Structure 1
């Protein structure tokens, strides 16, 4: 009897590049989480700031 395996996922070029980079640097999920904690989740603050800028620019349009 044949084993039915799931279809392979179509990955984007960026995903493939990131995966190669992770393999080269020995990336681990725990390391990634630690780096995010050390950066104090700056990406969230940056996203909030961009959102604020966008909302202000929409209100000041003629």
Structure 2
């Protein structure tokens, strides 16, 4: 396996809270055992986009 894609642009991800999306991504990274995890990012508002970007940068930069 080359990578895992999580929280893509289809499905129920849009109805998850920020904390729930974070938990999904953290569980995926833990389970991936070194395989890159690609986080889907399709925010519904400009504010959600900015918040998600800052959160990702702060956690993984």
Instruction: Classify the TM-score, shorter chain.
Output: under 0.3
TM-score (norm 1): 0.26
The answer to which structure has the higher helix fraction is 1
Higher relative contact order (CA 8 A, sep 6+): 2
The answer to which structure has the higher strand fraction is 2
Larger Rg, first or second structure (1 or 2)? 1
TM-score (norm 2): 0.27
